[in-house]
Amino acid sequence: MTSKTDLIAAARAAAAHAYAPYSRFAVGAALLLDDGRIVTGCNFENASYGLALCAETVALAKANSEGDLARVVEVAVIGGSIATGAMAGADPVRPCGRCRQIINEAAQLGGRDILVHCSSADGEKVETHRLSDLLPHAFGPADLV
Ligand code: THU
């Protein structure tokens, strides 16, 4: 069984692959699926700055491309500045607004309130939130019918 600590460790390993030469802020995300598998992602920037993809979005797109979007039960996010070498930062990284909306698509599809573990770079500070607290009154698939 995957613990919160294991999921954060998987997110940290993914952050090592962050392509973040512009912000020099590395982020890793790990999704826990309902069958125990883990899907990871890291941020992926571009010389055209606005095209950057967040770690959570990359991980969710990977899960979707394998047919697993409805299976996501938990998400871990970790990140920090890599400007001076190793990833550093005292505060937990929380998903941006766009990523919250994209996590919500997985939550609605799977019919569950996804737990989001937000970790500081060193793993010392971890907050766990329900997606419904991070994104109250969300717009979702049900609003389109
Ligand atoms: N970033 C993420 O990957 N996830 C978030 O939830 C917040 C921001 C990335 C985007 C960009 O590459 C860098 O962090 C700085 O904003």
Summarised one tens digit per residue, pLDDT across range 41-64 is: 999 999 999 999 999 999 999 999
In angstroms, what is the span from residue 145 Cα to ligand 1's centroid?
32
Number of CB atoms found within 10 A of residue 145's CB:
4
Q: What angle do CA 14, 62, 43 make, to 5 degrees?
A: 40
Cα-based distances in Å from 122 to 12, 80, 81: 9, 9, 11
pTM over 0.95, yes/no? yes
Domain ranges across the chain: 4-144
Q: Is the CB of 76 under 6 A from ligand 1?
A: no
pLDDT reading at 2 higher than 90: no
27: which DSSP letter? E
- Going by CA atoms, what residue is nearest to atom 1 of ligand 1? 54
Q: Is the CB of 53 under 6 A from ligand 1?
A: no
Q: What atom in ligand 1 is closest to the CA of residue 95? A: 6
- CATH number attached to the domain at 4-144: 3.40.140.10
Mean pLDDT confidence for 127-142: 97
Q: Give the integer Cα–Cα distance in Å for 53 and 55.
A: 7
Token duo for residue 81:
């500045």
Summarised one tens digit per residue, pLDDT across range 8-28 is: 999 999 999 999 999 999 999
